[in-house]
Chains A and B, each alone.
Chain A
């Protein structure tokens, strides 16, 4: 049992956790035909429920998971997993039907019209009643959290933002606040709003499918499940005092502090690479980093075009303006996992760093 707990704690380390969730998602999408079978889904459900119940016997796990404010996240996690399975299951069934030349699940019924009263109105009513019951029971069982009266002089440790922003707070480990707290959230909103104007594929409107829009679906699943939901889970359950990382069965020890020796790219280049002291001129000092960032945004889009058939297809379909917007948003999204990997592998702190102007990338 102890060995198992140690294994889970080790697996939940941010590096392993992040890579594991990405691999799991990719594997799930690749082998979706087999993995979305109800028998497999039931087995997974049984396994997760057993794991969850067994874990509840651990006092540290129980303390974090049953904290009233964390209960919604446990509920959300269950719902997200179930609905991801459900949508992929329907997508697999639909894809098979369309391959055989048959109408898909939705098309079979979309010609039929039913009366709003009673079919739709009663469905809505039942949903509302069930929701009210669930909310009432939840409210009776769990009191709304209330801590001591506010004391501006006493900072709690850890200080956490509301749970739905914890994915963004986790990004603060890798990027400065101006990127993680201002630019990235704004770009998430802008990117979401741009979606209908960048996705020009007319297929897959009104039914679940994977094969007719593999890129769009994988891209969204990566953004929503990995970069948003799984980082919220990481930030809530696995980040403790000092924003240090704790495994699910580890005690939140307030004195635990991980020593971090993070190094800027300029130091890697000048001091470790060329064996010279850092140049006095900030511009010269940061030149390698600036070249890397500019190169990333200027060279990768044409490179993608010449290497990838998929992106050539996008370019023809989208035209210059839409394609550039799309690729820049894509590159910014992927700069997050790239920076994460660089931090874990070579302890890279900043690629470009002008602390004088609070301009650090």
Chain B
């Protein structure tokens, strides 16, 4: 086995991919990190205190990992799912009944719950170790937005099975928007926004209408949430994650003064 690996390492194909020897010398361990696209997110060396599990709880890393799990399982689910009132629920049923090894929806759902938990706990650790202090103020802010995006991703995904649980949870959640000050038709101040006696803010054009694309949770809402869930929010989240990780390096590691 070891011989096979040594032989492999001498082939032209291997050498064209990995431009260094086995990572058992200082030089090669440095090169592994420097010459690998994915690993170069990390510095070559890190503080010993910064990789202790009892210190980091690994919650930030797990959040990112769960995001990848959600991306992959979500992609597979998109093969089987049509976001229309006619087909959505049927497709979910079919996914459960007919698709071989149909664990993807389970993994996607539990992964999403787990991601909400890990992102909260990550923030918990970052606060308790004072890791938001200078020079990391900005990165904490990026993190707060990522936390909100995680909740939004989870919330938009909640609607997609199109069962009773889904539409009523989203109805309860979005009912709040009705009460937005000035912008919701049951919000304080909206009654003052009139033009010639006609209300400018009513159930047909307020913030909730924009969110749901209708006066209640319906097919247009399903499409809207689907697009946001599968394309909109993931793109923003991925971009912000890249910034988040890049800033961790630029700010001198996960915590501690520069």
Give chain A's interface residues, CB within 8 Å of chain B. Answer: 69, 72, 75-76, 79-80, 83, 86-87, 90-91, 105-110, 112-121, 123-124, 127-128, 131-132, 135-136, 138-140, 142-152, 154-156, 159-165, 168-169, 176-178, 180-183, 189, 192-193, 195-197, 199, 201-209, 213, 216-217, 220, 224, 354, 356-359
Contacts and interface: CB of A to CB of B under 8 A. Distances in A.
A45 to B, nearest CB: 17
Nearest to A213: B130
B154 interface: yes
Interface of B is mostly: helix
Contact of A146 (B96, B111, B137, B140): B96
Nearest to B132: A196
B156 to A, nearest CB: 10
B245 to A, nearest CB: 13
A138 B179 contact: no
Interface stretch (B6-14, B54-62, B226-234): B54-62
A177 B110 contact: no
Contacts of B134: 196, 202
Given A142-B110, A150-B167, 14 more contacts: A80-B121, A116-B44, A123-B58, A138-B106, A144-B110, A150-B162, A162-B154, A177-B176, A178-B187, A181-B175, A196-B133, A206-B129, A206-B130, A206-B255
Contact of B165 (A72, A136, A145): A145
Interface in B18-59: 23, 26, 29-30, 32-33, 39, 42-55, 57-58
Contacts of A164: 116, 151, 154
Given A127-B58, A160-B172, A150 B166 contact: yes
Interface in B165-213: 165-169, 171-173, 175-181, 184, 186-192
Contacts of B108: 144
Given A72-B113, A159-B171, A182-B181, A205 B256 contact: yes
Contacts of A154: 164
A83 B53 CA distance: 11
The CB with the most chain B CB atoms within 10 A, among A142, A147, A159, A161, is that of A161
